[in-house]
Amino acid sequence: MASPAQQLPPGWAAEWDQNAQRYLFIETATGRTQWEPPFPDPEAMLRAPSASPPPAQSHHHTKRRQYAPGQTQAYYGADTIAPPGPAYGAVPAPAAATQPQLFTPGLAADGQFAQQQMGAGVPPAQAPYYGGAQPEPEYINAPGFGQGPAFQPPGVNALADQFSQMNMGQKGLRLFTTNLLTAPPDPLELHRPPPDIVLPPNSCLSNSPVANADPSYQRCTLNAIPTSHSLLQKSKIPLGIVITPYRSLKEGDDPVPLVTDTVIARCRRCRAYINPYVQFIDGGNRWRCCICSMSNEVPQLFDWDQVRNQPGDRWARAELNHGAVEYVAPTEYMVRPPQPAVYVFLIDVSHNAIQSGMVATATRTILENLDRIPNEDNRTKVAFIAFDTSLHFFSLPAGTTDSSMLVVSDIDDVFLPKPTDLLVNLTESRPAIENLLSRLNDMFQDNHTIGSALGPALQAAFKLMAHIGGKIHVLSASLPSVGAGALKNREDPKVLGTSKESALLQPASPFYKTFAIECSRAQVSVDMFLFSSGYQDVATLACLPRYTAGQTYFYPAFNASRTEDAIKFAHEFGEVLAMPIMLEAVIRVRASKNLRMSAFHGNFFVRSTDLLAMPAVPQDLSYAIEIQIEDNITAPFVVLQTAVLHTTCFGERRIRVVTTALPTTNNLSEIFASADQVAIATLLANKAVERSLTHKLEDARDAVFNKMVEILSAYKASMTAAGAGASAQLAISENLKMLPVLLLGLLKNVGIRQSAQIPPDLRAYAQCLLTTLPPQLLVPYIYPTFYSLHNMPPECGTVGEHGVIMPQPLPLTSERLERHGLFLIEDGQTIFLWVGRDAVPQLIMDVFNLPNYEVLRGGKTTLPVLDNPFSQRVNAVIQKTREMRRGVYYPHLYVVKEDGEPPLRLWALSCLIQDRADVLPSYQQFISQLRDKVNGSTY
């Protein structure tokens, strides 16, 4: 119920007078006081009686407080459960007070019955204050609050439970059922935010809209957590979180607030960080942890403003208002002083690498991006090692432009040829580095050596930097063939499409995993850039980034003489070099009692049961974690908190904390209504890839299909009238209606698709993407975007209020292709421009500057920018497509003619996942299979 303090006009404050047992109103500007409420309008005067009922005198009720119905027992029944703070995220309290105080069964307004059953009203000591308009804000809970069981009128709990089931006591999520057979997928659905997180009243200290972390940092598959494992099992929805703790900031994104005063309040028992969901008790001198309910002292300097050197406003602190915050860590969070950023470049200079133009493009890109490499404190160190079947080190003494090459041919026992000048300060040796990069390609121009000593080169780089840690960028254009880690070509077309294919996706040599774990211990991370025209065993080489928290980039058949290839690699490599990385990181996810992190997916090494070691955390890499419910949850809400301890690339130790609070429910309909289809698809993509490696590709596909059948069966059995019988419909909740098409896209993705034509390297690289892309990039990768350009509205492709206006996305079916049209299909990695065979010459002239369709050539291309509005709009749409998502990827553009080369046509059409392709079903067939399975499983 609203207190008068919450309804005051600006410039007024309210204080509870203990002697008079009523509110005293203070005009803050003049200090004038009065007993009458200062209402700004006559309408408010009419509401006055209901706004402030007199506090009850009965000692039973002096410590009572409004909670959601059905949760009273949770608060008062057990001493260990903390009473919540002021409301945020549910029905706002002031609104409730405007309802009349009469209770009519069946006509109750939202939240009204809850107010009545809570009786006497808001206790004075608990009036929530957010802004600091009061001279001396009272803290949230009076001393001793909730320490003993309060008087509970008999039968109220049962009534409250009934009303909460009817969604009267507290506004829960509404469940809407849709029939998949009659509701075709709408691509716009995927741009909607996840279901609302409806927390119980008073669970949050702050009324800030960002008290829960933005879903782009952390999102859960369910936004209402089942109170028991059996209830979760009944819904069949997998429980897990998808975290992208270090996502890049696009224009308009708010940065993560930084707490610089090194006052870090943590729970003594579970080591959780203070956040908007804790409670202040004991007059504000202590706080109760929202994860383990431990009572902790508030640090002495918590209420002190160190910048102004005066008392500060506790409620303005970032960690009490933001779900994502970053702290500058004091020295006790450091094992050693923050190390400088170190970049070691391993460049393949064998014949293939030189001929493809990879070396020239790479050295030019490094040279052009030297100023973008993080080096704010001038401590960054770099080294260059070239390798073919020997290792070529470069000595780069400071203060000169000279560099000398030292060749080590003994690759069986790798050693450093010189103790100094190999790993050098970027600023001090800049002239020598620039000189070397401009000459490196010419030095090896006539190199005819075929072969690659990648393993020994990695060992040399490790020796060079192991005492500091840092980043190894490997640029390799051939299969490692000599020395440690040598690999053989194991590509066998006869195995493709059979049950033995998954063996090709597993590492062929233990060297890379063993070496990666050594790197992880020494805080060394590896990024792989792979360029081979032939087989390169991506599956094995991707082990290095997987266990060292790096990333794999693959450029099949790279040839720099095609400008598109050179531009794509230069753009992506340049972005990777300029990326501000987190170094020496460890991540731990803490969760409320009875929730346990049970499985981890992504690029890292699990150091202990729940500590993820990451020598470097790149931006926009995603990690998926499965959660298990171990015992019944009695708390009204749970908290998931991810903490990342890391060193910035400019030498500052920091902790990023991402907190998400989610309500609990024992109501199956709320579980379905709160399910986040994008998070579920992301988690299932990670699980499918893991299963394809531990079992077979077929098992991974079956597991995805069966999970969809289970969810639909559970929904039909518990949420529809059909129950266990057969049904002509295929029902699912409105918020999950895109899940079947997302999973169909996953089943048709190169990573796990049933096919005998996919080379193992392409499949292994697709699996790397499936397990690392954040949801924003993963969704288009499994459910591409499809636009019609020839008839897009005139404003599309022009600049609007929020940048370039994009056309409406179309469903992914070739039924939408028109023979005279121009269409764009993109999945975040590739853009296809589909040209219909009857396209009019004017369209071809306006877009490609060619006289007609016949002379247009298909394939990789760069679109000309012509002096006509349509060309400029099409280019703007393509440019926006390349820029609108986070991540370093720069998709190639392919022109696809309707009657052009069959492989290119089939590749583009494979993106239209709602069509039938090869042995894979269309969306309608897939839905029919699901319905038959759902109905069949009930006989």
DSSP string, 290-314: TTT--EEEPPGGGGEETTTTEE--G
| Beta strand pairing call for 822-826 and 799-800 | unpaired
Q: At what angle do helices 697-719 and 923-936 cross, to 10 degrees?
A: 60
- Give the separation between CA 227 and CA 629, rounded to whole angstroms: 8
801, pLDDT greater than 50: yes
pLDDT tens per residue across span 184-194? 888 888 888 89
3 state SS for 271-283:
CCECCCCCEEEHH
Distance CA 539, CA 796 (A): 41
Sequence-distant (≥ 6) Cβ neighbours of residue 267 within 8 angstroms: 289, 291, 292, 294, 296
Q: Contact, 462 vs 522, CB < 8 A?
A: yes
Q: What average pLDDT score do residues 838-860 get? A: 89
pLDDT at 20: 64
Mean pLDDT within 53-82 = 37
**pTM for the full model?**
0.80
What pLDDT score was predicted for residue 129? 28
Q: What is the total residue count of the chain?
A: 939
Two structure tokens written together for 283: 């007059």
Model pLDDT, residue 204: 87
State yes or no: pLDDT of 553 exceeds 90. Answer: yes
Measured CA to CA, the distance from residue 312 to residue 308 in angstroms comes to 9
Q: pLDDT grade, residue 6 (50/70/90)?
A: low
So what's the pLDDT on residue 153?
39
Tens digits of residue pLDDT in 233-288: 999 999 999 999 888 887 778 889 888 887 888 888 889 999 999 988 888 888 89
Average pLDDT over residues 331-350: 87
Which ranges of 815-939 would DSSP assign to H, the alpha helix? 841-848, 869-883, 902-909, 923-936
Element (H, E) at 447: none
Report, as an integer, the average pLDDT of 470-491.
89
In sequence order, what E strands does 117-272 have? 177-179, 218-220, 225-226, 240-243, 258-259
Angstrom distance (rounded) from CA 637 to CA 225: 8
Mark out the alpha helices in 397-443 (DSSP H runs). 430-443
Quote the pLDDT of residue 681: 94
In whole angstroms, give the CA distance from residue 7 to residue 433.
Answer: 66
679-729 per-position pLDDT tens digit: 999 999 999 999 988 888 888 989 999 999 999 999 888 887 767 667 778
DSSP symbol at 249: P
Instruction: Name the pLDDT band for 533 (thresholds 50, 70, 90).
Output: confident
Rounded Cα gap, residues 555 and 738, in angstroms = 32
Q: How far lies 234's CA from each of 13, 223, 262, 781, 846, in Å?
A: 50, 16, 45, 31, 57
Task: Please tell me what DSSP assigns to residue 379.
Answer: -
| Chain-centre distance for alpha carbon 230 | 28
* DSSP track, 545-597: HHHHT--EEE-TT--TTSHHHHHHHHHHHHHHHH---EEEEEEEEEE-TTEEE
Count Cβ atoms below 10 Å from residue 2 Cβ, excluding itself: 23
Given CA atoms 153, 154, 159, 160 in this order, what sign does their dihedral have? positive
Confidence check: pLDDT of 112 > 50: no
- Segment 566-570 long-range contacts (CB within 8 Å, at least 24 positions apart): 566/357, 566/361, 567/862, 567/890, 568/890, 568/891, 568/892, 569/358, 569/361, 569/362, 569/365, 569/529, 569/531, 570/361, 570/364, 570/365, 570/368
What pLDDT is attached to residue 106? 36
- Bridging pattern class, strands 785-788 and 822-826: antiparallel
Mean pLDDT for the stretch of residues 170-176? 73
- pLDDT at 39 (0 to 100): 60
- Three-class secondary structure of residue 928 per DSSP: helix
- Give the mean pLDDT of the chain: 80
At which residue do the structure tokens 């370039």 appear? 804
Kind plus residue range of the DSSP H or E element containing 63: none
Q: Which residue has the tokens 């600091």?
A: 132
Which residue would you say has higher pLDDT here, 76 or 633?
633
| C-beta of residue 93 within 8 angstroms of C-beta of residue 127 | no
When pLDDT is cut at 50, 70 and 90, the band that residue 485 belongs to is confident
Q: Which residue has the tokens 């001929």?
A: 355
Question: In this structure, what token pair is assigned to residue 225?
Answer: 């957590």
Which among 442, 592, 461, 479 has a CA at the least distance from the CA of 525?
Answer: 461
Residue-wise burial string across 612-651, b where 16 or more C-beta atoms lie within 10 A, e elsewhere? bbbbbbbbbbbbbbbbebeeebbbbbbbbbbbbbbbbbbb
